[in-house]
Amino acid sequence: MQANVIRIGTRGSPLALAQAYEVRERLMRAHGLPEASFEIVVIKTAGDRILDRPLAEVGGKGLFTKEIEDALLTHEVDLAVHSMKDMQTELPEGLVIGATLPREDVRDAFISLDYRSLADLPHGAVVGTSSLRRQAQVRRLRPDLEVVGFRGNVQTRLKKLRDGVATATFLACAGLNRLGLSDQIARAIPTSEMLPAVAQAAIGIEIREGDTATAALVAPLDHAETAVCVAAERAFLRKLEGSCRTPIAGLATLESGRLQFRGEILTPDGRVSHATERSGPASDAGLLGTSAAEELLGRAGPGFFTTAG
């Protein structure tokens, strides 16, 4: 057990802090430690600084993690808390995922002050979302709607709705639940309608490779079922990655030791999509994700990702 104060690196958004506090609380309970044993270290990332452009234009994944990972590598923090969907599929050399917390609600939430669902929106209504996946899925389901970029943290996006910037938006149910804002959800969208982002609703704890003390500290927090499902999804994404502007969705679930995986790729306009499913033992999680990606790559053809980008 570490004797010194344990420094937890995190972004400073209300949701990121809520996740860091959850990790701290779980560590306190697991080891009988007081709150004074921990320090929350807020680190501003490129994704937090760049607010005037879509993230896909400036690098996509890694924009919410790089500075925190740098602090981990330079021993400024002892562990880092991330939304797993923000993490690159290849971690920087010297870093590993030490634990994955139990997953929250994976579904997307439809949010509107005046309407209860996407189907209820009037023709031409404005839907705001910064997610390329959600943009493509909305355009596929409702090509008559106007889809606009919608950056900012949860509170910022809710304010934009109140200010009339858009009629509706989407957020992750998980984030709203963690912030105590589940009453803002007009409708939790079934995954059969909108497949979520890879690793949505999962929190990961990143540590230095070879740091046995911190590895032992976070090990009790690891939720094996979530870790297996996220591994399948990240293997799927890893095989597909080549364009950060390609909308990609993937979800794995585990029942009685058997993993069910669904994956999807779309063009940004939502007009073309390819989906597939896999089922197999949990021990084959990575292989199932990779196999699903290989199938979609073959079906989409070499021009799909070029066109999507």
Q: What is the pLDDT of residues 247-282, one digit of tens each?
A: 999 999 999 889 999 999 999 999 999 999 999 999
Q: Which pLDDT score, from 0 to 100, does residue 35 have?
A: 97
What span, in angstroms and rounded, lies between the C-alpha atoms of 149 and 74?
Answer: 35
Are 84 and 65 in contact by the 8 Å Cβ rule? The answer is: no
Choosing among 2.60.40.3080, 3.40.190.10, 3.40.50.720, 3.40.50.300, the CATH entry for 6-102+202-222 is: 3.40.190.10
| Fold matches, 108-189 and 234-308 | no
| Mean pLDDT value across residues 53-62 | 58
Q: What is the DSSP string of 44-94?
A: --HHHH--SS-GGGTTSTTTTTHHHHHHHHTTS-SEEEEEGGGS-SSPPTT
The domain segmentation of the chain, as residue ranges, is: 6-102+202-222, 108-189, 234-308
**Per-residue pLDDT averaged across 31-41, rounded?**
98
What CATH number does domain 234-308 carry, 3.30.160.40, 2.170.150.20, 3.30.460.10, 3.90.480.20? 3.30.160.40
Give the CATH superfamily of 108-189: Periplasmic binding protein-like II (3.40.190.10)
The overall average pLDDT reported for the chain is 91
Query: What integer is the mean pLDDT of 42-50?
Result: 75
| pLDDT tens-digit series, residues 207-223 | 999 999 999 999 999 99
Q: Which residues have a Cβ under 8 Å from the Cβ of 214 and sit 6 or more positions away?
A: 2, 6, 78, 79, 98, 207, 208
Q: Are 302 and 296 in contact (CB under 8 A)?
A: no
Confidence band for 15, pLDDT divided at 50, 70 and 90:
very high
Evaluate if residue 1 carries a pLDDT over 50: no
More confident residue, 301 or 28: 28
Tell me the catalytic residues.
86
Cβ neighbour number for residue 138 with a 10 Å cutoff: 23
Q: C-alpha distances in angstroms, 240 versus 52, 122, 134, 249?
A: 27, 35, 18, 11
Residue 308 predicted with pLDDT over 50: no
Model pLDDT for residues 92-138, shown as the tens digit of each residue = 999 999 999 999 999 999 999 999 999 999 999 999 998 999 999 99
**CA dist., res. 291 & res. 244, Å (int):** 20
Confidence band of 61 (pLDDT split at 50, 70, 90): low
State the burial class of residue 57 (Cβ atoms within 10 Å of its Cβ: 0-12, 13-18, 19+). exposed
Quick check: pTM over 0.85?
yes
